[in-house]
């Protein structure tokens, strides 16, 4: 994957993880974009928009372009959603450098 940028989807990256052989796409959440069911993403990033207390879980392609997104009231809830969608992701979160 491309190196993680500091901002994704207009928000500052709080944590991220490439999705790889360490993870299993559970299929627990079906995300539809412009009428097309999305499959597994290449990476996940949790971001926070300026002046917003909420967190966004972004599913990204290999270039860290946003493919899917969900809104969460807390970082813990965003991480829980990520684990619901991708088994093992809780063990691989990284902080941007």
Q: Each residue of 9-21: pLDDT tens digit?
A: 999 999 999 999 9
Count of structural domains, the chain: 1
Within a domain: 52: yes
Q: What is the pLDDT of residue 97?
A: 77
Q: Confidence class of residue 52 from pLDDT cuts 50, 70 and 90?
A: very high
Domain contains 76:
yes
Burial per residue of 53-90, b for 16 or more beta-carbon CB atoms within 10 angstroms, e otherwise: eebbbbbbeeebebebbbebeeeeebbebbeebbeebe
Residue 96 within any structural domain of the chain? no
Looking at the domain assignment, is residue 32 inside a domain?
Answer: yes
At 6, phi and psi to the nearest 5? Answer: -80, -20
Q: State pTM to two decimals.
A: 0.93
- Residue ranges making up the domain that contains 32: 7-91
- Rounded to the nearest 10°, the torsion over CA 33, 35, 39, 40 is 10
Flag whether 2 is in a domain: no
């Amino acid at each position: 994957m491309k190196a993680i940028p500091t901002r994704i989807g207009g928000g500052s990256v709080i944590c991220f993880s490439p999705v790889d052989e360490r993870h299993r796409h559970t299929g627990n959440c079906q995300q539809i974009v412009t009428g097309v069911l999305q499959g597994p993403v290449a990476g996940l990033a949790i971001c926070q928009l300026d002046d917003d207390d909420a967190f966004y879980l972004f599913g990204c392609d290999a270039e860290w372009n946003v493919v899917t997104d969900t809104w969460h009231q807390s970082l813990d809830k965003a991480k829980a959603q990520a684990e619901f969608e991708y088994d093992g992701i809780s063990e691989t979160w990284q902080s941007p450098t």
